[in-house]
Homo-oligomer: A and B are copies of this chain.
Amino acid sequence: VTEGVADGAAPGVQDLLGIQEAATLLGVTMRTLRFYEDKGLIAPQRVCTTRIYSRREIGRMQLILRGKRLGFSIREIKEFLDLYDVDPEHHVQVRTLLTKVTERMKDLKRQRQAIEQTLTELGSIQEQARAWLQAHEAGAEGQAEKRA
């Protein structure tokens, strides 16, 4: 506590987290954090081989997870995050975001349409199966009644 700064993973002081803590905080597994690092989305500092997650990494991770929830691939998310550094005014970034979001919405509307259609088809299969069972179980009951 005397030196205070480079004192390792003192939680709360500098918000420096180990991989376990970061994973718990973010609601993901350690494997996920290592995977995103491998893909170049985050770059936590290292103390020897051990990863240290600062507030910057946690913030990026929250953005990444939001992107994932919205259905973007990690490649797309990486491209978007990379724009942040190259584009300090964020004009290009926001315009790109708008394009991607609009595309994604189109895609989702198409998916929704496909789901509606599949549900209709499944519904009729369901009814046919029920009718078939009714017919054949009625037959079986008839036979059971005869035997009784």
Contact = CB atoms under 8 A, between A and B. Distances in A.
A129 B97 contact: yes
Contacts of A102: 126
Interface string A106-147: 001101100110110111011001101100100000000000
A31 interface: no
Given A91-B136, A136-B91, A109 B119 contact: yes
A46 interface: no
Quickly give the copy total for this chain: 2
Interface residues of A, number: 30
A70 B101 contact: no
Nearest to A91: B136
Interface string A30-70: 00000000000000000000000000000000000000011
A122 B71 CA distance: 10
A98 interface: yes
Given A91-B136, A115-B111, A136-B91, A98 B122 contact: no
B101 A125 contact: yes
Contacts of A94: 129, 132-133, 136
Interface string A78-116: 000000000000010011011001101100110110011
B123 A105 contact: yes
Contacts of A71: 118
A49 to B, nearest CB: 38
